[in-house]
Amino acid sequence: MPFIPHTPADVEAMLAAIGAPNLEALFDEIPPALRIGPLPALPEGLNELQATRLLEARAADTPRPLCFLGAGAYEHHIPAAVWEITGRGEFYSAYTPYQPEASQGTLQVLYEYQSMMAGLTAMDVSNASLYDGASALAEALLMAVRAHRKAKSKRVLVPRTLHPLYRRTVHAIVHNQGIEAVELPYDPAGGHTPVEALAPYAGQDFAALVIPQPNFFGVLEDVDSLTDWAHHNQMLAVAVVNPTALAILKPPGEWGETGADIVCGDGQPLGSPLSSGGPYFGFLCCRRELVRQMPGRLVGRTVDLDGKPGFTLTLQAREQHIRRSKATSNICTNQGLMATAATLYLSLLGPRGLEQVAAACHANTRALVERLTQVRGVERVFDRPVFHEAALKLPRPINEVLDGLLTRGILGGFDLRGEYPELGNALLVCATETRDETDLQRYAAALAEVV
């Protein structure tokens, strides 16, 4: 809420109603040894006018560089109506719609969200969102191990072209449950995972193969061959996708002969601002046969006793309702507000609008790479097609280049050396539909100066 409405008299009345002498008494169960005590370094509180002036001054001092940084968080245009509606009290303050009779609006929005995500991925079922894309993948792999009853081992194949933070999150969540993620190498020329790299694992006992599209380098994988290889070797195919890219790329439900089995990713491109790192939301879709193993919430459409349509949470084998050891999900918090924003974003853009956004992203990235590679010593790292990111090799240390670009008001990209040192001075750059010709020329001119 924008302000605290309670007067001192209101506070006194509430304290009297519960029999507490003061606010401090509400915390008397906390042992004194655990209390932090006074905070002398904190300044005195400000009134609304003073706080507003301070924040405006801080905002004016904060640089707003031109952003060419992607790597999992993308600057897209968000129509003003998206958050004008999402910020309404009916959506903004609601948490979990456990009481369907009081939550029909929220449930319908989530149902529409599920319908859109299922359509976008060409899958049968979507849940009502998860925490973020990385944890969604971890849940997808836990789901795959549970669902793949023919696989006796708890091993999954994970390409090194997958987002590094996704790989770390997967390890953090699944390794204590005895699941081993076996890493696959990538082709140094193409930046993709060739089917030939899977040959050593043919016929072995694995539950799933993870297939990113596009991968962390922005490179497009040969998803048809990888999906068919997984199925021919008795593995589930788990797709990790950028939802914007699905407007112009083949959806996972149509990969290979029979399509992917589970699809997940981060929904940040669908109406969530960069906002200093979040919150975002994870999406997860699957084939109908696997729905009983799906983690998180699922909203269903039904009719009431009068035959009127209604919505409710359904198929919930979650830890709140049954024994934890028997639960198919231990996800306690989804990102319903972000999923609401995504529903509005997709509704406002429609299929044609999302396709135009994706096409503009692709065109801008191609134009950016063309201009930057005209700078002496700058060249592409990989030779395969990309979506809206590309890896470039620079003739100078990346940190020096990024610092030089930042002094010129440009956030130049993601330094790949920490995660992929074998690539040398490699930089991952991104251009979405928010960039125009002037922005691209400005970056190219600044890079030429720095290099």
Q: Which of 33-37, 55-59, 284-288 has the lowest mean pLDDT?
A: 33-37
Lowest mean pLDDT among 170-174, 212-216, 321-325: 321-325
316-375 pLDDT, tens digit per residue, is 765 556 666 667 766 666 688 999 999 999 999 999 999 999 999 999 999 999 999 999
Give the tens place of pLDDT for each residue, 410-429.
Answer: 999 999 999 999 999 999 99
Q: What is the pLDDT of residue 61?
A: 87
Question: Residue 174: pLDDT band by 50, 70, 90 thresholds?
Answer: very high
DSSP count for the chain of H helices, then E strands = 11, 15
Q: Kind and range of the H or E element at 152?
A: none
- Mean predicted confidence (pLDDT) in 200-214: 96
Q: How far apart are CA 117 and CA 342, in angstroms?
A: 10
* Residue-wise pLDDT tens digits, 76-133: 999 999 999 999 888 887 667 777 777 888 899 999 999 999 999 999 999 998 999 9
Percent of the chain with pLDDT over 90: 76
d(CA 127, CA 143): 13
Q: Which pLDDT score is estimated for 1?
A: 47
Q: Which residue has the tokens 């956004």?
A: 357
What percent of the chain is modeled with pLDDT above 70? 94
Q: For residue 232, what pLDDT is reported?
A: 96
The per-residue pLDDT for 150 is 79
Placement of tokens 């899977």 in the chain: 198
Assess if CATH 3.60.70.12 describes domain 66-77+351-450. no
> What are the E-state strand segments in 304-450?
309-313, 379-380, 389-393, 410-411, 414-415, 426-430
Structure tokens given for 294: 């799906």
Cβ distance 294 to 302 under 8 Å? no
Distance separating the N- and C-terminal Cα atoms of the chain: 49
Question: For the residues 304-313, what does the mean pLDDT come to?
Answer: 90
CB atoms within 10 A of CB 218: 25
Sole residue written with tokens 């035959």: 307
Angle at CA of residue 272, ends 282 and 83, nearest 5°: 125
Indicate if the alpha-carbon torsion angle 11, 12, 17, 22 is positive or negative: positive
Q: Where are the domains of the chain?
A: 66-77+351-450, 80-344
Region 38-63: mean pLDDT is: 90
Question: What's the chain's average pLDDT?
Answer: 92
pLDDT at res. 64: 87
Q: Which residues pair with 318 in a beta bridge?
A: 329
DSSP code for 102 = G
> How many C-beta atoms surround the C-beta of residue 59 within 10 A?
9
Same fold, 66-77+351-450 and 80-344: no
Fold for the domain defined by 80-344: Aspartate Aminotransferase; domain 2 (3.40.640)
pLDDT band (50, 70, 90) for residue 285: very high
Angle between helices 437-450 and 336-372 (to 10 degrees): 60
Give the three-state DSSP class for 284: strand
The three state secondary structure string of 42-86 is: CCCCCCHHHHHHHHHHHHHHCCCCEECCCCCCCCCCCCHHHHHHH
Q: What is the mean pLDDT of residues 175-182?
A: 92
pTM (two decimals)? 0.88
| Helix/strand/coil for 259 | coil
